[in-house]
Amino acid sequence: MTGTDTEWEARYRAVQGRDRRFDGMFYTAVRTTGIYCRPSCPAITPRRHNVTFFPTAAGAQDAGFRACRRCLPDATPGSPRWDVVADAAGRAMRLVADGVVEREGVEGLASRLGYSVRQLHRVVTGEYGAGPLALARSRRAQTARVLIETTDLRFADVAFAAGFTSVRQFNDTVREVYAASPTQLRAAASGHRPSLVPGTLHTRVAVREPFAAADLHWFLAVHAVPGLEAVGEDWYERSLRLPHGPGVVRVDLSGRTPGVVPCTLTLADTRDLAPATERARRLLDADADPLAVDAALAEDELLAPLVGARPGLRVPGQLDGAEVAVQTVLGQQVSLASARTAAARLVERWGDPLGLEGPHEVTRLFPSPETLAALDPEDPEVLRMPRARARALTTLAGALADGTVVLDRSVDRAETRAAMTGLRGIGPWTADYVAMRALGDPDVYLPTDIGVRNAATALGIDDVTRRSDDWRPWRSYALLRLWSVVLDQLREREQRRDTTRRHP
């Protein structure tokens, strides 16, 4: 049996077992029905000779198959392989999801990746079974379906919010992909929620279980910057700088709906729905495969208890690469509380007012690189921090403003790291932390991090750097496990402080 035959058999067994772990990893198309499904579809298992597997929903659609209306295969999380490999095809997938094809065309997508249009089409089609246009079309169709089923937006508004250039194109695509008209899809949906405020949309992000929602909420809460971010008992909210204007995303981290995170988006321009949703996906680390990650890390006997205590832990993604880079510089050699205070001052003084109506609590955007680059690092009244750090901040902001450093998921990670560490005041720790939070690198290790060292000592790990080689390619997730030891200590101190305040 060849390697290809072995892979086919493994996929077919997953379909027979309706194994949810493979949802989003591949898609099952049935030639006799013309329908494609997720592996866990509850329908009768198709016969072997009628099955074709595709790596993406777009590949199945491009081959003429329609989405199953029972299992909704296009609503699954993406593949974690896009971030693990981080090759040109994977980076292209991230940019397609961010709406780059709609804004810049395939030519713009190819230019960002340093390819010709023909080269990019060959690379992407070879990896995912469909070219950039087909991938973008599939994304538009899925976005439109969610809006049709969960809002009372007029279909014309749905069409343009999803990225279609005309209502006719929207109608034709929905019929081709779902074998139903928009009117039929809306009539079949139950429990959809109308938008009560113009520009506010309710959507959902699919995540693989287990999903450690409470731990993600805690991480975001302890890092939240006032004005820029807000946190409630079971939700997190923040402002967004989007291609067509400002926005706000609020994610429900109550964990009440397994496999789904409800999101509320408030947008100045509904054309920003796709990039706003993609940023929410990054925040939630929605495409992670928690079972695979946890199984790999649990092979280490010292990490196993941490994995067992928090199954499904995610690496929180940052929604703006420039922002995370600046905040990382602010956090150099200071406590978390001090870093938050410095960031809050920066946001209050130099961040643009949000200027967006809606049911949200955030008030400002993070300062743009252009704004920060223009500040005088030698004036202590402008940047209240050590002069060396102020110079590093404005130097970095200048590199971000002029394009010397680009921090989105289209970039080559090694080249970006070299560009960052070539700047004065930016060392390996800063560059690597940015790679983990902003570039989605799942295999970052920070050997000089004091939190990692303290946690390793507490766990009895003598040579944590050598041991970390066994955690590849999931070292970023191992870092979160180690930091959880430190964060637990912080949480315990806060609880004791609260108890003292209530019972002096």
| Active site members | 37, 449
Task: Answer for the pair 36, 53: CB distance below 8 angstroms, yes or no.
Answer: no
Residue 105, classified by CB atoms within 10 Å of its CB into exposed (0-12), middle (13-18) or buried (19+), is middle
Phi/psi of residue 439, nearest 5 degrees = -95, -5
Phi/psi of residue 251, nearest 5 degrees = -110, 140
Residue 33 CA to residue 216 CA, distance in Å, equals: 41
Residue 387 CA to residue 203 CA, distance in Å, equals: 44
Phi-psi region of 393 (alpha: psi -120 to 50; beta: other; left: phi over 0): alpha
Residue 239 β-bridge partners: 248
Residue 239 CA to residue 279 CA, distance in Å, equals: 11
* 88 closest CA partner among 400, 435, 404, 413: 413
Beta carbons within 10 angstroms of residue 466's beta carbon: 9
Tokens (6 digits) for 260: 């789904």
Task: Answer for the pair 377, 391: CB distance below 8 angstroms, yes or no.
Answer: yes
